[in-house]
Amino acid sequence: MRTNSSFVVSDIESFKEGLLLWAQQYDDVLWLDGNGHKNRYGSFDALLAVDALTLLQTDSEEAFEKLKEYQVLTNDYIFGYLSYDLKNDVERLFSKNADHLHFPELYFFQPKKIIKIIGDTVSFDYLRMVDDEIQSDFKAISGGDTFNVGEGSATKNIRIKLRIFKDEYFRQVQQMLAHIHRGDIYEANFCQEFYAEDTKIHPYRTYQRLNAISKAPFAAFLKMYDKFLLSASPERYLRKEGDKIISQPIKGTAKRSQQDSADAKLVSALQNDPKERAENIMIVDLVRNDLSKHAIKGSVQVEELCEVYTFEQVHQMISTVVAEVAPGANPVDLVKGTFPMGSMTGAPKVSAMKIIEELEAFKRGLYSGAVGYFTPDGDFDFNVVIRSILYNASEEYVSYSVGGAITAKAVAEKEYEECLLKAKAMREVLES
């Protein structure tokens, strides 16, 4: 059982900054921030979960079954993530590429303390065992108390390395194109890793810099003791709201211009680019197929097709696919039936994942997985983990990965340039 108390805050931006700083005292933290983006399917402006009462972490073997049991057992809010390599639990697949981050493949926790921001109202949703701390926590956060973020010295002059070099990237793309021309697949998302070894960063401060320059609608800060996700994700994977499920895949990226007229031309060019539209429509078809596995017959609809949205760093082409599910449908089954998200795999999905595993040079892990939460009512909301920095503090290893859709019309040089564009914000905050 939880106790809920609400407060009106006059300076919500200062409160948000103090809130995330206050959260650093805990070992288990998940912060989700909409950064002011108004999404018709959003239910908060920001959401924080801290201080695990119980938790589940596991590898991919029977991971979704374990999650289903945990979700039923807690009958409460649970927050966490699904790594990309849970594909091995969904299909008869495997992950053989090197893992340098060593994150659990699935992680969820039941927080003692949940704090939600909607407009200028802050709601504290605490388990009864800690509800006597609501008033003191609110005063500490809003009173400008000084909190120790527990961060030592950071590495100066971080040296970022490429897991594969440009020539190797071109060769792998050519192999993927050969699969496409043979008819093995129509499209696949090919990714590459950038990393730094023997490196220390300030996770909280690095996230704040990344968020400031990206202002993404599905931003996230995750702390699991010594492991961190700093995410500026623009993409929703899947949301359940009552009997409705919503997916909003992204395919199609264009750079921004500082001049309004040039920026408008970039939007128009993306909107009308036949290759980008083809990529997006292929993934929309895949998502429709995934949602239909559990949807009420005839309920799958495309609400938006190839709409261009503008963010701080890039323009993105986004579609919105919705469906109705039967009352009482198991939420974990709904996630499993659509995982991993089509925008990060390709089509047909299983064939694309097999080829991805052969050609990529790193284990994706949490990258291109999903971060979010389940509610006691069986609703949920998850982002897609892209535009993100992953950090293992104990092993002093920092990583960020980027990718792009390879189709029959793909040009390796242009795909490589798109990867560098997507990587720009992460590189900037790490090298600053």
Lowest mean pLDDT among 176-180, 272-276, 295-299, 375-379: 272-276
- For residue 10 the two structure tokens come to 């006059």
Q: At residue 427, does pLDDT exceed 80?
A: yes
- 133 classed as catalytic: no
Q: What letters, b where the CB count within 10 A reaches 16 and e where it falls short, cover 107-144?
A: bbbbbbbbbbbeeeebebbbbeeebeebeebbeebbee
Q: What is the pLDDT of residues 217-270, one digit of tens each?
A: 999 999 999 999 999 999 999 999 999 999 999 999 999 999 999 999 999 999
User: Taking residues 110-138, what's their average pLDDT?
Assistant: 98
Catalytic option among 16, 215, 251, 354 = 251
- The pLDDT of 165-178, averaged and rounded, is 97
Sign (positive or negative) of CA dihedral 131, 135, 139, 142: positive
Report whether the peptide linkage leading into residue 104 is cis, meaning its omega lies within 30 degrees of zero.
no
Residue 148 to residues 22, 114, 140, 153: CA-CA distances in angstroms?
8, 21, 13, 14
Task: State pTM to two decimals.
Answer: 0.96
Catalytic residue, from 187, 235, 276, 357: name it.
Answer: 235
Sorting pLDDT into bands at 50, 70 and 90, what band is 401? very high
Q: What pLDDT does 19 receive?
A: 97
Tell me whether residue 187 is one of the annotated catalytic residues.
no
pLDDT of residue 144: 63
Quote the CA–CA distance of 270 and 264 in Å, as a whole number.
Answer: 10
Quote the percentage of the chain above a pLDDT of 90.
95
pLDDT for the residue 40: 83
Q: What is the mean pLDDT of the chain?
A: 95
Domain count of the fold of the chain? 1
For residue 64, give its domain range. Answer: 2-148+156-431
The pLDDT value recorded for residue 407 is: 93
Cis before residue 348, ω within 30 degrees of 0?
yes
For residue 103 the two structure tokens come to 């994150």
Average pLDDT over residues 147-154: 76
CATH of the domain at 130: 3.60.120.10
